[in-house]
Amino acid sequence: MRTPVTLPKVLSPSDVDRLVAALRTERDRAMVDAMLLGGLRRCEVLGLRLEDVRSAERKVFIVDGKGGRQRLIPMSARFFTTLARYLDHERPTDASTDAVFVVMRGPTTGAPLSAFGLDEIMRGARRRAGLVQASCHQLRHTCFTRLREAGMSIEALQAQAGHASIETTRVYLHLTNDWLASEYRKAADLIDLANMEAVK
């Protein structure tokens, strides 16, 4: 008997807006965009190297994805715009690492940002935004849910996510069905209300 999979919460557009507004630097916005718009895992964001960013192609190369799988994936233009602002104005010029995202102040300035550091950034943004939930994994999950809702094929979603098995990706089919049912109920309720008003 298959154990039910517990899925992380999908963030609403308003929650996403509040979270992004609470971020303090272009670096932090670029990291959130990578997860929210490209579906990168936390470790993939932190593992990005300068040479992995293909700005002209609007793609990023994931060298070390889950299970050691590599992939070249498209990314939103917004990510590259935000990333360029970070690289041009915030990233320490004397950083001795090729990691894209680095510590910007304190005794470890210029060192690669750690998972703990990214988690702290997310905690602070959640607190300022007044959100109970908004983890790195929820951003990734929100990305794929929205892409599926917008009509992206399940095979394309699998490639974007870096899933080894299409079965892992199929969960987004069920999520879309739930979303569709919810949207239908809202629309049907409005129609019923309009019909009742017409009868009066």
Catalytic residue among 18, 91, 140, 146: 140
The 3-class secondary structure across the chain, one letter per residue, is CCCCCCCCCCCCHHHHHHHHHHCCCHHHHHHHHHHHHHCCCHHHHHHCEHHHEEHHHCEEEECCCHHHCCEEEECCHHHHHHHHHHHHHCCCCCCCCCECCECCCCCCCCCECCHHHHHHHHHHHHHHHCCCCCCHHHHHHHHHHHHHHCCCCHHHHHHHHCCCCHHHHCHHHHHHHHHHHHHHHHHHHHHHHHHHHHHC
Q: Which of 27, 29, 41, 42 is catalytic?
A: 41
Residue tagged active-site, from 24, 58, 78, 137: 137
State yes or no: is 174 an active-site residue: no
41 is catalytic: yes
58 is catalytic: no
Query: One of 27, 91, 141, 163 is an active-site residue; which one?
Result: 163
Catalytic annotation, pick one of 24, 66, 123, 185: 66
* 137 is annotated as an active-site residue: yes
Active-site residue, 86 included = no
| 163 tagged catalytic | yes
* Residue positions annotated with a catalytic role: 41, 66, 137, 140, 163, 172
